[in-house]
Amino acid sequence: MAIVAMTALAGVTGAQATKTTVVRSGDLSLTVSGGSDPQRLPETRNVPISLKLGAEVTTADGNSPPAAQTLEFRFDRQGAIETDAMPICRRRQLTGSVIKSEDYCSEAVVGGGGFFLHVALPGQIPFLTGGRLVAFNGGVEHGKPVIFVMAALSARVEWGTFVTKVVISDTDRGTRDTRAIARIPPIADGMGVLKSFNLKFGRKPDFLSARCENGRLSAHWAVSFQDGNRLQGDHAQPCHSR
């Protein structure tokens, strides 16, 4: 059974508060953080916002955690993701290095950040390595907006670049109206495990927007792991109507 161990305001960077939640199941712990800016929003109309998301998985014994397979975020009806009016970068255009893809699809970039992997290759001591993340608006596939998140390790290795597709859809479950779900591909032929990531989506017109109807912005998140574990929790950030 998963236990929510802590939910608290972790700090403020500039004007952006970041809220952190820690959930544990057995010896597995998952720390999820997030926050948006600005916190003063109109009550009846959406305006552009920026959004920070991050997560880190650890184990009590310090060994490699199980591989995360899916990440899911659900946002309440006060927030919206719109991709229709933005330039598009198709999956086939994301080839080679992140730098080349970023140059080729510069107008479609919607966010960026970093990540760390725990890697256990045959005949080698397990090690931690990291790199960059760049998020691109991928347009619409099968009637649903998609975002492509391209990851590139700082080290130049054959398996050092991979792409995760984030599918966005509407839901009708209570007050959470928008769902974003990412399926993480096998990394290094299954020998690489996502240890942590952070992403910031900038305040771009017609991409992320929100309003403040009831004094807080709410979200639900869930992570499913290869060993069958599923950790989930709720996030709420205060907002102020103007």
Under the banding of pLDDT at 50, 70 and 90, the label for residue 9 is: very low
Asked if the model's pLDDT at residue 11 lies above 70, the reply is no
Task: Give the residue, 116 or 123, on which the prediction is more confident.
Answer: 116
pLDDT in tens, 130-186: 999 999 999 989 888 999 999 988 876 666 788 999 999 875 554 557 889 999 998
By the 10 Å C-beta count (0-12 exposed, 13-18 middle, 19+ buried), 137 is classed as buried
Name residue 47's beta-bridge partners. 210
Determine phi and psi for 67, rounding to 5 degrees.
Answer: -70, 135
pLDDT tens-digit readout, 31-57:
999 889 999 999 999 999 999 999 999
Q: Where do the H-state alpha helices sit in the chain?
A: 98-104
Whole-model pTM: value is: 0.86
The residues, any chain, with a CB within 8 Å of residue 4's CB and separated by 6 or more, are 21, 22, 23, 233
Q: How confident is the model at residue 98 (pLDDT cuts 50, 70, 90)?
A: confident
- Tell me the C-alpha distance between 235 and 137, whole Å: 25
| Residue 19, phi then psi, degrees to nearest 5 | -105, 140
CA distances 38 to 105, 119, 170, 178, Å, are 27, 38, 24, 20
| C-alpha–C-alpha distance, residues 213 and 60, integer Å | 40
Q: Where are the domains of the chain?
A: 3-241
Residue 62 and residue 221: Cα distance in Å, rounded?
A: 24
With a CB cutoff of 8 Å and minimum separation 6, the contacts of 99 are none
With vertex at residue 97, the alpha carbon angle to CA 205 and CA 115, rounded to the nearest 5 degrees, is 70
Confidence at 8, pLDDT banded by 50, 70, 90: very low
